[in-house]
Amino acid sequence: MSISKEFFGTAKDGKEVYAFTLENANGMKAKIINFGAILVDLYVPDKDGHLEDVVLGYDNLDDYYKNNSFLGATIGPSANRIGKASFQIGQETYRIAVNDGENNLHSDKENGYHKRVWDIVEVKEESVTFSIDGPDGDMGFPGNKKIAMTYSLSGDNALKLAYHGTSDADTIINITNHTYFNLSGHHAGKIEDHILTIHASHYTPVVPGAIPTGEIAPVAGTPMDFTSPKAIGQEIEADFEQLKLTFGYDHNFVIDHADGTLREIAIVEDPKSGRKLKAFSNLPGVQFYAGNCIEDEIGKAGAMYSKRTGMCLETQYFPDSIHQPDFPSAVFGPQRDYDAVTVYQFV
């Protein structure tokens, strides 16, 4: 195992941004920057041992300041959507950015944790740890928050993302990583032929605006069923209301038997390259997003990114859980620290 560090750019607030590259003996490499705790590159061997970068991203810091699709970013303090961009904890009502119709998406598109420079806390040969402070009232969220995140790479091709968060007042903490995978290579075009399995017999249907209805619905008999391996593109254009509302898959799946322990939640296979990704998490949900709304743009090394050229498995508490008493709570504070682990392993 080894780690290297290089200068990546100077942020708008004058802070220096660095890239850390973790590498194992198999040649697998993960490059992470402390701006947005973003995963920039992930080189993984294919069936013949050929290395390819399998995540969408940019070559420079300026593009990450735009990053309309949140490529590779760590989203916080609250990932996904909060209905009507407001919520109540105790007797207090909190109002946050209205940035997705009448709702809130990913806390704040310009000021969220994905567009801030994180502190570099610890660097080891197999890991790097960043932290960020969120003062009380920051982006409208209560509580003085401190979030730490560690990226680590193992000898068996597993990239682990571990999060720990504290707050001195009850608040929403629901952090995710928004990496877009294309197992054929970030430049390889559509991901609709990737074969996906999600260990989820239920999902949370949405209304227009992608806010959950509160129902936990079975996937059986619908295009939402990935309990057995299925090509992403097989039913993505089906005449099914949920898919039409979100232009394809962009839904929270309810992980079977989730109990707070680390468990396998999904498998992605690429028939062309032979790469196979297993995802693990201790969280109750995962947002499978098929990249339906990626706008045409130039990414790393001149690659063209567009609709469905990358897919996300965003581990999370359910969207809008603050308004749904039957959903697992994403409220953390003095009596409850936030701890989450996600692992992306290539086998």
Q: Which residues are catalytic?
A: 178, 314
* Residue 316 near residue 283, CB atoms below 8 Å: yes
Give the Cα separation of 95 and 212 in Å (integer): 19
Cβ-based neighbours of 68, under 8 Å, separated by 6 or more: 295, 297
Strand order in the sheet with 285-289: 217-218, 202-204, 250-254, 285-289, 312-316
Give the Cα separation of 43 and 315 in Å (integer): 21
Q: Report residue 63 as tokens.
A: 């593009």
Q: Report residue 335 as tokens.
A: 């009596």
Give the Cα separation of 54 and 42 in Å (integer): 6
Cβ-based neighbours of 284, under 8 Å, separated by 6 or more: 254, 255, 258, 317, 318, 328
Between the two ends of the chain, the Cα-to-Cα distance in Å is: 18
* Residue 4 near residue 55, CB atoms below 8 Å: no
Number of Cβ atoms within 10 Å of the Cβ of 108: 20
